[in-house]
Structure 1
Amino acid sequence: MTDLFTPAWRPSRRTAFQSLAVLAAGAASLPGWAQAPAWPQKSIRLVVPFAPGGSSEVVARSVAAELTKQLGQSVFVENKPGGAGTIAMQDIAKAPPDGYNLILGHVGTLAVNPYMLTNQPYDVNRDFVPVTLLAKVPNVLVVHPDVPAKNFKEFIAYAKANPGKLNYSSAGNGSAGHLSMEYLKLTAGFFMTHIPYRGSGPQMTDLLAGRTQVAMNGLPSVSAFIKSGKLRALAVGSAQRVAALPDVPTIAESGYKGFETSQWYGLLAPAGTPAPIVRRLQEESLRALKAGPVTERFAHDSALGVGDTPEQFAAFIAAQQKIWKEIVVKAGIKPD
């Protein structure tokens, strides 16, 4: 006999656990139930595949500083040059996909190396997940003041009349400067010798000393030297003139219609990084790009902040790969 306060049936311990499991499974399907562990809980490493001193440095450190404020954890930049960016890319491809290892991808590592290098130890489309396109940076053609060319037209004429006399430098094989100059050489039909360096820092040292004479660099790495007269700007590779150099024409308007080349930098994580973390990184990156210190620095260097979605960045990479595959083949670009 049972009273109103005594259950007529008591489940076994096993049955109770099974019931709880069923309830938990059902609840986990509801929005907001299944949450990844709180992220971030420690410092985040952002690897840059070049030596300090170039446009990649400006973009990476500007954004990393804001992300540090927003996330409450240090986002520190680690420069890891060498191998046309493959050393850094391989590092991140093998890193734990936990949101604490990121890389700054760019046109060389993502759109050119797959066609320039035959034995990459990773697949850029399989081993990484795009997070967001951070910035586009205009390229500018600069020469040492000793070069007897005062404008772009004179430079092309001099280069054609003196094949091999000029040496152009870049931050390394597969770098944006290397690719842009090979693109220009192919388009305009002249020859210069390529001198690759391990990063924009050492590249600029020799360019300023006159040991190399020409470069096609991102504006942030050369703007101060243009203003001081240590380098002469002849043309920009962007579709329109840039505000920082209003009197410098585009290559397109200088006789090569349709020519356009810019440096671009985006954030990627190892494949398998949880989707909520990727989405959070994209959202926080967009927020960082809108922060005053970043917008001011980008405006100073005529860089365009983007902050698009992972899906949009993936589509952008695919489009760039199609463009640069053709250029690599036609120009015969190979690692030196």
Structure 2
Amino acid sequence: MNARFLKRLTLSLLLLAAGLAAGPALAQGDRFPSKPIKILIGFTAGGSTDVPFRVLAENASKILGQPVIIENKPGAGGILPAQMMQSLPADGYTLAQVPLPVFRLPYTQKINWDPATDLQYVIGLAGYSFGLVVPADSPIKTMQEYIAYAKANPGKLSYGTPGALTTLHLTMENIAMQTGITLNHIPYKGNSESLQAVIGNHVMSVADTPGWGPYVEQGRLRLLSTWGEKRSAKFPNAPTLKEVGINLVQTSPFGLVVPKGTDPKIAQQLHDAFKKAMEMPNYKESLAKFDMDTYYMDSATYKQYALDTMKTEKVIIEKLGLAK
């Protein structure tokens, strides 16, 4: 072998080795995910939605091998992330949290998309619990006294929620309708805002998910009622609405969607990753801090839940006279 041949052979072997080394890297780059994933949530940072979602995102990032980033899009009762899905690429790199108000959108405002057909449902994650709180120094000490005060002072008893036409707003108006009272609704962008307002005595009461939990435990807020079928395990002293004579149970499951048209294989991969992430103890612990629990639904079940919920929400909206 002459020197020139050896040189060319050596070069060929080097190129072959480089190609073999690069091959897996190129294939890896073609796999999903190959870049960070975003989750859009419709509520402010630091609240009962945001805190558990950040734990879930950290868990999912370890499973997917890419960062999972939370982006807060508060306002409009939590519907903005679902709305944004209508204009984002169907590539699996952006998911949105869908709270209950999304399912009443077609009945409360004019929109050019349909939650039933224009969202691709990935996984049901958890369910909110709800309650009504007042400042610890409020003269109102029970739900019965709350209703009595409202009857004696029509339109003067104010309550805050995360926004107009949210589940909390509609439930409070349902309570008012059932008890014959008139309340003053003050909408906020999220529960971190509304809770600061009630603690600062800028609003007389707040209806919300248990972002109020730590403040109740600290003695800064008083919990008048919870809205589940049975009493809260964490706050057993607070009666349910049914126990105070109001025939109403309100819970609110939520989950994740991707834009319509996302590759089913990618959607399934996301489902599997987030199912593992939600089963980790730290996620369940983060939910428990806000008196919440996991509420798993696979993609098909979650889609059916959306269809069923839209039917029931239509009935409630029409009953309260709030249809567009």
Q: TM-score, normalised by structure 2?
A: 0.86
Asked whether 1:50 is paired with 2:40, we answer: no
Residue 272 of structure 2 corresponds to which residue in structure 1? 283
Conserved in 2, the CA contact under 8 Å of 1:108 and 1:179?
Answer: no
1:115 alignment partner AA = Y
Aligned to 2:297, the other structure's residue is in SS state: coil
Summarize deviations over 1:241-276 as a string: whole Å, max 9, x none. Answer: 11110111111122123x111232210110001111
Asked whether 1:72 is paired with 2:62, we answer: no
2:238 alignment partner AA = V
Shift of 1:180: 2.4
Conserved in 1, the CA contact under 8 Å of 2:44 and 2:189?
Answer: yes
Asked whether 1:215 is paired with 2:206, we answer: yes
Distance 2:239 2:78 in 1: 31
Asked whether 1:39 is paired with 2:29, we answer: no
Conserved in 2, the CA contact under 8 Å of 1:235 and 1:248?
Answer: yes
Distance 1:82 1:334 in 2: 20
Distance 2:54 2:173 in 1: 28
Distance 1:276 1:205 in 2: 43
Summarize deviations over 1:96-141 as a string: whole Å, max 9, x none. Answer: 11110110000112x2222111x22422122211111111121011
Aligned to 1:307, the other structure's residue is in SS state: strand
| Of 103, 115, 121, the match for 2:107 | 115
Distance 2:104 2:219 in 1: 33
Summarize deviations over 1:169-223 as a string: whole Å, max 9, x none. Answer: 111123332232223222322111111112222222211111111121111x110
Conserved in 2, the CA contact under 8 Å of 1:185 and 1:191?
Answer: yes
| Of 230, 234, 239, the match for 2:220 | 230
Distance 1:311 1:80 in 2: 26
Matches within 5 A, 1:1-336: 38-109=31-102, 111-117=103-109, 119-219=110-210, 221-257=211-247, 259-333=248-322
CA 1:246–1:103: 2 relative to 1, 3 Å: same
Residue 12 of structure 1 corresponds to which residue in structure 2? none
Conserved in 2, the CA contact under 8 Å of 1:41 and 1:73?
Answer: yes
Shift of 1:146: 4.2
Distance 1:125 1:77 in 2: 25
Summarize deviations over 1:28-69 as a string: whole Å, max 9, x none. Answer: xxxxxxxxx521111111111222233221332221121111
Distance 1:70 1:140 in 2: 34
Aligned to 1:155, the other structure's residue is in SS state: helix
Shift of 1:84: 3.7
Residue 6 of structure 2 corresponds to which residue in structure 1? none
1:58 alignment partner AA = V
2:121 alignment partner AA = P
Conserved in 2, the CA contact under 8 Å of 1:176 and 1:217?
Answer: no
Q: TM-score, normalised by structure 1?
A: 0.83
1:265 alignment partner AA = F
Distance 2:79 2:251 in 1: 21
Q: CA RMSD in A?
A: 1.9
| Structure 1: segments with no counterpart, 5+ residues | 1-36
Conserved in 1, the CA contact under 8 Å of 2:52 and 2:286?
Answer: no
Distance 1:139 1:85 in 2: 16
CA 1:87–1:289: 2 relative to 1, 3 Å: closer
Summarize deviations over 1:141-190 as a string: whole Å, max 9, x none. Answer: 11123432211122122222211111111111233322322232223221
| Structure 2: segments with no counterpart, 5+ residues | 1-29
Shift of 1:95: 0.6
Distance 2:286 2:166 in 1: 22
Conserved in 2, the CA contact under 8 Å of 1:286 and 1:306?
Answer: no
Aligned to 2:213, the other structure's residue is in SS state: helix
1:247 alignment partner AA = N
Segment of structure 1 superposing worse, 88-97 or 236-245: 88-97
1:290 alignment partner AA = E
Aligned to 1:207, the other structure's residue is in SS state: helix
Provide the aligned length of Structure 1 versus Structure 2: 296
CA 1:103–1:68: 2 relative to 1, 3 Å: same
Conserved in 2, the CA contact under 8 Å of 1:140 and 1:218?
Answer: yes
